[in-house]
Amino acid sequence: MRSKSVVRLGIGMVLLVFGLDQATKWWILESVMRPPRVLPVTPFFNLVMGWNRGVSFGMFNQDSAYNAWIFTGLALVIAAVLVVWMWRAESRLVGIAIGLIVGGALGNAVDRVRFGAVADFLDFHVAGYHWPAFNVADSGITIGAVLLLADALFSRPEKPKNKATNQASEP
């Protein structure tokens, strides 16, 4: 039996991640990166302007006219499947996790439709090594995936409340 509160929580996460993602991208594109440059913020963090035409971490980052449409369609199909999962979820953690992933997927899909690529601007680095630039949507997707993995690894199945009923139904 699904819980309406799980669905509401998940939808809230979708709206939060999507809204923060689009707002930060607007701010970066319209205010901060005019002109595009590297802005050091801390010794380990910069704001940069990058365009990812591929998927996570720049994989399949070719300048193909079809990439934006293929990856947008794929993201929307995955988001739809995840929404069905969220609708059936009983755990608040699963609802939050799926909401984070769907919000991120939709945020990046909007970029692909608008720009043909995803705007990435968060650049973390240490000892000359730079993590691939990313954005709020990518963060939501990653955190959501980690939460789903944690739920799968560490959640305990509910024990039956009435042991006698379960024993009577077994052959």
Question: Per the domain annotation, does 146 fall within a domain?
Answer: yes
Q: Tokens in use for 156?
A: 């305990």
Question: Per the domain annotation, does 160 fall within a domain?
Answer: no
* Euclidean distance between CA atoms 151 and 115, whole angstroms: 35
What's the confidence (pLDDT) of residue 170? 56
pLDDT in tens, the chain (171 residues): 457 899 999 999 999 999 999 999 999 999 999 999 999 999 999 999 999 886 655 555 556 667 778 889 999 999 999 999 999 998 999 999 999 999 999 999 999 999 999 999 999 999 989 889 999 999 999 999 999 999 999 987 766 666 555 555 555
Question: Per the domain annotation, does 168 fall within a domain?
Answer: no
Contact present, 71 and 58 (Cβ < 8 Å): no
Give me the catalytic one of 21, 111, 123, 138: 138
Q: Smallest Cα–Cα separation from 100: which of 59, 150, 136?
A: 136
Question: Per the domain annotation, does 161 fall within a domain?
Answer: no
Question: Per the domain annotation, does 112 fall within a domain?
Answer: yes
Alpha-carbon distances, residue 74 vs 8, 138, 154 (angstroms): 25, 16, 29
* Euclidean distance between CA atoms 109 and 71, whole angstroms: 8
Tell me, yes or no, if 120 is annotated catalytic. Answer: yes
Give me the catalytic one of 21, 111, 120, 123: 120
What's the confidence (pLDDT) of residue 1? 44
Write down the pTM of the prediction. Answer: 0.83
Question: What residues make up the domain containing 42?
Answer: 4-155
Q: Residue 124 burial (CB < 10 Å; 0-12/13-18/19+)?
A: middle
Contact present, 32 and 117 (Cβ < 8 Å): no
Q: Smallest Cα–Cα separation from 11: which of 74, 135, 95, 110?
A: 95
Tell me, yes or no, if 21 is annotated catalytic. Answer: no
Count structural domains, the chain: 1
